[in-house]
Amino acid sequence: MFNKAEKIREKYIREEMWPSIFCTGCGIGNVLSYTMRALDELKLDIDRCVFCSGIGCSSRLPGYIEADGLHTTHGRAIAFATGVKLAAPDLNVVVFTGDGDLAGIGGNHFIHAARRNADLTVICVNNFNYGMTGGQVSPTTPVAAVATTAPYGNLEEPFDLCRLAIGAGAPYVARWTVGYPYETIEAIKNALAKPGFAFVELLMPCPTGYGKENEQREPAVAWQWYKENTITRGDLGRLDPEQRAANRKIVVGTLWDVQKPEYTARWAEFVQSL
């Protein structure tokens, strides 16, 4: 179905940057692979793509891609990406971010970019903690989960990033776990093709940080957890109403897909009209 891994690697990856910094059992390498496969499938010209990121493990991704990249400061990837898109609306602008970067320190940029609806593809790797700095509570850490800054469990309610994106006005929102390769690649393809702010949340284990504290230290166990604790939107729909109401699993799938005027196109029209 897809091009072979070696071909993808040869075509898009900076060989000299290998091996990556990612820990055993981490899914960020998969996110890179899925994104490159989606790009390849869509036959997008990599020279017309810009990859932006903030700070965190997932934000290291642009460094591995043989393309223009902008590695910025904590939380600001979307703000920088908005600048790139506005200056050069023809480019495909992709943001790699994490839960802490996107919804913690960069939360304001996230909601305003969704509201503004410039054509950005935002891929958020959600591993439920600040992984790179050593496993602190993040805005998506579940209640009662253990973190280095919450040794007896987290008290704060987490964000549902997809609901936040939908509420803020994003026209395309999907959530998968990295354990669903084909669905994830399709979602990234949809997001890249979507004219507007497209958001893909990818749930992913962090054996070194979150996993270590929450009985997901073993990569196989961790990946299994994501399989067992998620349900596709389709499967949820097939449950009877009582079961559906009782569902506590995280829902994955395409969660929102609507048409909305894109910001840079509106800007161009606006300028023409003056």
Q: Which residues bind another protein (CB under 8 A)?
A: 55, 71, 73-75, 100, 104-105, 107, 130, 132-134, 136-137, 139, 148-152, 156
Minimum Å gap between C-beta 167 and another protein is 18
Q: Closest CB to another protein among 27 and 100?
A: 100
Q: Which CB, 137 or 203, lies closer to another protein?
A: 137
Q: CA–CA separation, 162 vs 57, rounded Å?
A: 21
Nearer to another protein by Cβ, of 107 and 167: the residue is 107
Query: In whole angstroms, what is the distance from residue 116 CA to residue 270 CA?
Result: 15
The residues pairing with 44 across neighbouring beta strands, listed in sequence order, are none
CB of 152 vs another protein, minimal distance in Å: 5
Nearer to another protein, 98 or 196 (CB): 98
Q: Which candidate, 72, 132, 141, places its Cα nearest to that of 104?
A: 141
Amino acid at position 246, single letter: A
- CB of 99: closest distance to another protein in angstroms? 11
> What three-state secondary structure class fits 5?
helix
Query: Cα separation of 249 and 192, whole Å?
Result: 27
Q: Which is nearer to another protein, 110 or 225 (CB)?
A: 110
| 83 Cβ contact partners less than 8 Å away, ≥ 6 residues apart | none
- DSSP run (H or E) holding 175: strand 172-177
CB of 270 to another protein, least distance (A): 33
Minimum separation from the CB atom of position 61 to another protein (A): 14
Peptide bond into 19 cis (omega under 30): yes
Considering the complex, state which of residue 52 and residue 150 has its C-beta at the smaller distance from another protein.
Answer: 150
Q: Measured over all CA atoms, what is the biggest interatomic distance in the chain, rounded to whole angstroms?
A: 61
**Residue 124 and residue 176 in contact, taking contact as beta carbons nearer than 8 Å:** no
Report helix, strand or coil for 139: coil
Taking the complex as a whole, how short is the minimal distance between the CB of residue 151 and another protein, in angstroms?
4
Q: How far is the CB of 165 from another protein (least distance, A)?
A: 17
DSSP 218: S
